[in-house]
């Protein structure tokens, strides 16, 4: 297949559009850039030779006080559900070997949110509240130096210890799934079903604290074990320079709200179409090893077949893009927007900009069903094609499908609900597991108690103050990139790029019975002006999508529908109101 004629020859760089936009990094010219293309010495992903330690779990609804663990169910008096009240009540009831308390409802860290300007400050205040006698914030644990709290606005993690031997953490079950009103017993059953579904594929499966930790651990146990097999010695980690480049130039999911005058102020309806288990669709092929650099001159010297092969290989490209003057649909390629790691999607006809994009998106821009865009290759990274994620994703896909089937056929409603929650947990394992490969710079958080008279203590070197309460200050420090043997940001970037491309145009795996032609789905297959928003794997439109759904990863599932006139949302708050109303309306329609 010959490359699109929209592939352009190099031209002088235009004056950049949008003075406020970030400037993305480039690979240095000559030998300085060539030195980036290496593997880190003595750093590779290898198969572990140990089994993770299983930790006993309890599940607590802090609104009702209901606590469920392996030994039974009780209702506790938690008062205002402070850290001290939870630790005191829980460990007066359960044995000390319960090391993980999942909050299923109640969000106690938000109890005093109205007293703080930001949710993160309310969370930090809750985590750093007074402790029962003998308890302290965990300082370290074996080889785990990530001790202390994770101050997240919605899914925080608090870590404490009593003496030297007792350790515990309080986490939100929202890391795994939205519990959707399920009681703690049902949530615990969901974790049991999840473990059983994964056990069929991994004899040594252990559910860790978060889906991302669990996903990475399970993936590591799919690394070839047979001596002499390809990559049995481990998947090499690229240089810090290449990892830093990918961190700065490869965004994640597409989040965009399209507002008037691009769309009408009133629209005939509101529809949400979400790609089911989407990332599993894009794990069949990934780059492996150290990439090859393809400069503008090297790309221009290639034959048409070589250029096509390079663009369809696992790859990441620096490109100069020119949008056709007649273009009137949504933007196709991400470009840097103001703000750290922010992206937007230029759509204005005739506009030129420079960006980085994965091969999947570059190909989509060149071969989209509306009108080809003009692309000039400035630089690129091309990897050898492999399938390091395929076996892992296929096992997760099987677990997901088996849990979904159980949720459909089981005779007990509580079991069906638990199976639905467990299937969502599998999705989170894959979604966040892929995210761990991106290996962002390590951010360390901490807190210090105010001195007498409210004196602010000295925070660690290189840290910045992030919050101030009546009793504590919170800080965070960017520690840069760690020597992480599981750092493969090209894998994450490739999946994210393919998923963003599929949001615009993708095969449904079916054919039109009238014409025999393949049926395509995505934003570019809906009318101009009908797209209202994108949210990672979902499209929101004013026209009802008529796409076949087979229940396979990547298929578009209608999740919300209101077939009557709506006011177009112009803020995130208005968007989320319509999202909730649309889902409620579709549920009522289906019932």
How many Cα atoms occupy the beta-carbon half-sphere of 237 within 13 Å?
Answer: 21
Alpha helix stretches (DSSP H) within 178-325 = 184-199, 211-220, 240-249, 296-300, 304-312
Q: Which two tokens stand for residue 110?
A: 């938000």
Alpha helix stretches (DSSP H) within 205-358 = 211-220, 240-249, 296-300, 304-312
**Region of residue 441 (left: phi > 0; alpha: psi -120 to 50; beta: else):** beta
Q: What are phi and psi of 108, to 5 degrees?
A: -60, -25
For the chain, the farthest-separated pair of C-alpha atoms sits apart, in whole angstroms, at: 80
The answer to whether the CB of 545 falls within 8 A of the CB of 537 is no
* 497-539 confidence digits (pLDDT tens): 999 999 999 999 899 888 989 999 999 999 999 999 999 999 9
Integer Cα distance of 537 and 529 in angstroms: 19
- Cβ neighbours around 207 below 10 Å, total: 23
pLDDT of residue 331: 97
- Best CA proximity match to 540, nearest among 271, 262, 268, 263: 271
Integer Cα distance of 38 and 236 in angstroms: 9
- Best CA proximity match to 377, nearest among 327, 310, 332: 310
Q: What are phi and psi of 305, to 5 degrees?
A: -65, -40
Residue 285: which residues within 8 A CB-CB, separation 6 or more? Answer: 314, 385, 386, 387, 390
Q: Residue 549, exposed/middle/buried by CB under 10 A (0-12, 13-18, 19+)?
A: middle
Secondary structure of 530-582 in HEC code, one letter for each residue: CEEEEEECEEEECCCCCCCCCCCCCCEEEEEEECCCEECCCCHHHHHHHHHHH
pLDDT of residue 19: 43
The answer to whether the CB of 224 falls within 8 A of the CB of 438 is no
CA torsion through residues 193, 198, 203, 207, sign: negative
Residue 110: which residues within 8 A CB-CB, separation 6 or more? Answer: 119, 122, 123
The predicted model scores a pTM of: 0.88
Q: Residue 234, exposed/middle/buried by CB under 10 A (0-12, 13-18, 19+)?
A: middle
Name the one residue in this structure whose structure tokens are 């991400």: 334
Name the one residue in this structure whose structure tokens are 């609804």: 61
SS3 589: helix
- Best CA proximity match to 45, nearest among 294, 288, 237: 237
Integer Cα distance of 187 and 183 in angstroms: 6
Name the one residue in this structure whose structure tokens are 């779990």: 57
Strand partners, 269: none
Integer Cα distance of 194 and 102 in angstroms: 15
- Best CA proximity match to 313, nearest among 301, 300, 299: 299
Residue 379: which residues within 8 A CB-CB, separation 6 or more? Answer: 26, 27, 293, 294, 295, 296, 317, 318
Secondary structure of 321-374 in HEC code, one letter for each residue: EECCCCCCCCCCCCEECCCCCCEECCCCCCCEEEEEEEHHHHHHHHCCCCCCCE
CA 491 to chain centre: 13
Alpha helix stretches (DSSP H) within 104-183 = 119-127
The answer to whether the CB of 401 falls within 8 A of the CB of 410 is no
Integer Cα distance of 76 and 93 in angstroms: 9
Integer Cα distance of 368 and 501 in angstroms: 10
- Best CA proximity match to 449, nearest among 129, 150, 140: 129
- Cβ neighbours around 569 below 10 Å, total: 21
Residues of the chain whose pLDDT is less than 70? 1-20, 140-147, 340-341, 440-449, 451-454, 456-457, 460, 462, 467-472, 477-482
């Amino acid at each position: 297949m010959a490359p699109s004629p929209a592939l352009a020859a190099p031209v002088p760089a235009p004056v950049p559009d949008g003075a406020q936009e970030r400037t993305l990094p480039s690979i240095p010219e000559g030998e300085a850039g060539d030195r980036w293309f290496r593997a880190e010495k003595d750093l590779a992903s290898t198969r572990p030779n140990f089994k993770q330690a299983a930790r006993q779990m309890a599940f607590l609804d802090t609104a009702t006080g209901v606590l469920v663990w392996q030994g039974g169910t009780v209702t506790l008096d938690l008062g205002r559900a402070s850290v001290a009240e939870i630790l005191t009540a829980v460990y007066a009831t359960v044995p000390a070997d319960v090391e993980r308390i999942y909050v299923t409802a109640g969000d106690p860290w938000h109890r005093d949110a109205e007293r703080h300007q930001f949710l993160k400050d309310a969370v930090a205040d809750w985590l750093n509240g007074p402790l029962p006698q003998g308890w302290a914030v965990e300082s370290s644990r074996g080889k785990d130096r990530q001790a202390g709290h994770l101050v997240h606005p919605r899914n925080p993690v608090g870590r404490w210890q009593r003496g030297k031997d007792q350790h515990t953490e309080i986490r939100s079950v929202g890391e795994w799934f939205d519990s959707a009103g399920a009681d703690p017993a049902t949530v615990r059953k969901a974790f049991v079903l999840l473990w059983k579904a994964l056990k069929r594929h991994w004899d040594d499966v252990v559910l860790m604290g978060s889906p991302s930790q669990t996903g990475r651990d399970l993936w590591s146990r799919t690394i070839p074990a047979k001596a002499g097999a390809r990559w049995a010695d481990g998947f090499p980690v690229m240089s810090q320079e290449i990892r830093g480049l990918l961190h700065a130039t490869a965004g994640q999911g597409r989040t965009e709200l399209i507002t008037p005058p691009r769309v009408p102020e009133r629209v005939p309806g509101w529809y949400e179409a979400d790609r089911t288990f989407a990332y599993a669709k894009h794990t069949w092929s990934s780059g492996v090893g150290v990439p090859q650099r393809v400069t503008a001159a090297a790309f221009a010297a290639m034959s048409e077949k070589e250029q096509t092969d390079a663009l369809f290989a696992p790859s990441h490209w620096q490109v100069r893009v020119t949008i056709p003057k007649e273009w009137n649909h949504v933007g196709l390629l991400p470009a840097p927007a103001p703000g750290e790691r922010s992206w937007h999607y230029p759509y204005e006809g005739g506009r030129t900009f420079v960006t980085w994009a994965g091969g999947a998106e570059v190909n989509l821009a060149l071969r989209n069903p509306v009108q080809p865009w003009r692309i000039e290759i400035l630089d690129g990274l091309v990897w050898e094609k492999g399938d390091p994620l395929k076996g892992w994703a296929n096992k997760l896909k099987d677990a997901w499908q088996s849990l979904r089937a159980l949720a459909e056929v089981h005779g007990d409603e509580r079991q069906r609900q638990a199976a639905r929650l467990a299937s969502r947990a599998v999705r989170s394992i894959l979604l966040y597991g892929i995210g761990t490969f991106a290996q962002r710079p390590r951010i360390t958080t901490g807190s210090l108690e105010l001195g007498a008279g409210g004196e602010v203590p000295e925070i660690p070197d290189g840290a910045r103050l992030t919050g101030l309460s009546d009793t504590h200050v919170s800080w965070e420090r960017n520690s840069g990139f760690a020597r992480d043997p599981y750092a493969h940001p090209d894998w994450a970037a490739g999946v994210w790029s393919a998923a963003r491309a599929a949001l615009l145009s993708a095969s449904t795996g079916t054919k039109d019975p009238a014409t025999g032609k393949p049926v395509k789905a995505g934003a570019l297959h809906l009318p101009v002006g009908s797209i209202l928003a994108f949210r990672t794997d979902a499209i929101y439109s004013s026209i009802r999508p008529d796409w076949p759904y087979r229940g396979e990863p990547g298929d578009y599932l209608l999740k919300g529908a209101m077939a009557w006139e709506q006011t177009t949302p112009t803020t995130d708050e208005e968007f989320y109101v319509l999202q909730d109303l649309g889902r409620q309306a579709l549920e009522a329609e289906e019932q």
